[in-house]
Structure 1
Amino acid sequence: MQSSGRIRSRFRPLLFGALACGLLGAVFTLGLVYAIAAFGGARSMGTLLLAGVALNALLGAVVSALVANVPDEQAVRGIVFWLQGDLEARTGRTC
């Protein structure tokens, strides 16, 4: 039986990798929103806001398509609950 410290150290690179991918995705999306807003030379707040809303709709559709194509029904339920902010099996302790 493994101790919890060894298990945590085994998953720590996975956690940091997921955080790094999330951060890179957020920075890329932010740059893409700014590039779309600045495309026509207009850098107004309204253009930036509309570009963000449009990209949100597009990326939300991509996530929905990925979830719809998951073959395991139990995994789909877990994904949907996680996307809605489910923290059921979490404790106060982190990795």
Structure 2
Amino acid sequence: MLPAPDQVTWHDIKAALGKRGLSFAALARKYNVTIVSFTRVKKQRAERPQRLIAEALGCHPSALWPDRYDQDGEPIDRRTKRSSPTTLSGDEAA
């Protein structure tokens, strides 16, 4: 069983997989994905590996990475969170 979503750590995820007899290497072999794809999830968004890990644990990815998903459980697009560059008008550009 995992802690509350805002308290899940990387070690919790690894331990939960281990309790099910799984590892990132086993998931990589099963889904034909590189193990790096799974370990990279620790610090970077990677929708497919996040989904595969969550499925192996019987939950939604937002339960493991709540900061990466909106309230509807949809991935937050990193690109839309950035502010758009400001453009200078004709008077300010001169």
Which of 1 and 2 has higher RCO (CA within 8 Å, sep 6+)? 1
TM-score band, normalised by shorter chain: under 0.3
TM-score by length of structure 2 reads: 0.27
User: Which has the larger helix fraction?
Assistant: 1
In the superposition, the TM-score normalised over structure 1's length comes to 0.26
